[in-house]
Structure 1
Amino acid sequence: MKRIFTSVEKMCCEFYPAFYLYHSIYKNVMRNEIKLANITSNDVVLNIGCGAIPFTALHIVQMTGAKVIALDKDKEAVEKAKKCLSKYKLQKNIEIALGDGIVENLPDFTVAIIALHVKEKATMLENLKLTKSPGARVVFRQPAVGYENEYGSLPDKYVPDGKISQKMKTFKESYLYHIS
């Protein structure tokens, strides 16, 4: 399923009606996550796993005015994301970069949103705890029952500080964690 979505995103980003439709599907998800993490225009949001259609970054900028640094480890997705943002003149407050959020030095951030398809969620959370961003909020999309093996999930020992329900097939909740 992950590979299908990745391929669809890469195809859709070139065709505006498909780009817009794909982007619009996540509007309520992002509205919920913005509320959960209390994202404002004063935040710097790190979006890990942005894909070729950086809908998380776009919604955050459009709904809050925050600055977003969006990472993806797929070089083709990064190039396509940059191209589509430029083509549709949507690049304001969004920086797209190559990176996986685990091994490189991460920029300072106040909020991080981790895409569902980032499989090593526990490793990601531990890595984010080591950053120089104390007080930051981190949002993870937890897979729905039956999708844990494909997308990875946070073990039960990681009790969230907050959570919100989502009406998506592949994930039903977004979890909030505070970095201390």
Structure 2
Amino acid sequence: MKKFFASVEKICCEFYPAFYIYHRIYKNVMRNEIKLANITSKDVVLNIGCGAVPFTALHIVQMTGAKVIALDKDKEAVEKAKKCLSKYKMQKNIEIVVGDGIVENLPDFTVAIIALHVKEKAKMLENLKLAKKTGTRVIFRQPAAGYEEEYGCLPDNYIPNCKISQKMKAFNESHLYLIE
């Protein structure tokens, strides 16, 4: 399923009507996550797993004015995302780079949002804890029942500081972790 959606994104980014519809699907998700992490224009948001349609980055910039650094390990998705943002003149405050967030040194950020399809969530959270200072906010989209194996999830002993319900088929909660 992850490969299917990655392919859909690579097609959607080429045609504005498809891009627009795909982008709009996540507006309420982002509204909830912005509220959950209290994201403001003063934040630098690290978006890990941005894909070819960087809707998380776009919504954050549009709704808060924050700067976003978006990572994806798929080089083709990164190039398509850059082209997409440039084509639709939406690149303001968004930097898109190749990376997976687990093995490399991370840029400075105050908030991180981890895409659902990032499978090694526990390793990701541990790397984020090493990289950042106290008070950094991290959001993980947790898969709905039946999607855990496909998308991976944080183990039960990782207890979020807060969570919010989402009305999505593949994930029904976003979890907030504060780095202490």
Residue 135 of structure 1 and its aligned partner are, at CA, apart by 1.5
Write out per-residue CA displacement over residues 21-55 of structure 1, whole angstroms, 9 at most, x where no aligned residue.
00000000000000000000000000000000000
Let me know the Cα RMSD of the aligned residues. Answer: 0.5
Matched letter for residue 154 of structure 2: L
Cα deviations by residue, 1:106-155 (Å, 9 ceiling, x for unpaired): 00100000000000000100010000333110000000000000000000
Query: Any stretches of 5+ residues in structure 2 without a counterpart?
Result: none
Post-superposition offset of 1:103: 0.5
Partner residue of 2:77? 77
Following superposition, the deviation at residue 19 of structure 1 comes to 0.2
Q: TM-score, normalised by structure 1?
A: 0.99
Partners of 2:116 and 2:70 in 1: CA distance: 14
Amino acid at match of 2:142: Q
Would you say 1:123 and 2:123 are equivalent positions? yes
TM-score by length of 2: 0.99
- In 2, Cα distance between equivalents of 1:99 and 1:2: 18
**C-alpha contact (below 8 Å) 1:109/1:133 kept by paired residues:** no
Which ranges of 4 or more aligned residues in structure 1 deviate by more than 6 Å? none
Percent of residue pairs bearing the same amino acid type: 84
Name the counterpart of 1:33. 33
Structure 1 unaligned blocks of 5 or more: none
Aligned counterparts of 2:14 and 2:24: Cα–Cα separation in 1: 16
Task: Count residues with an aligned counterpart.
Answer: 180
Give yes or no for contact 1:50–1:115 (8 Å, CA) kept in 2: yes
Secondary structure of 2:131 counterpart? coil
Alignment partner of 2:39: what SS? coil
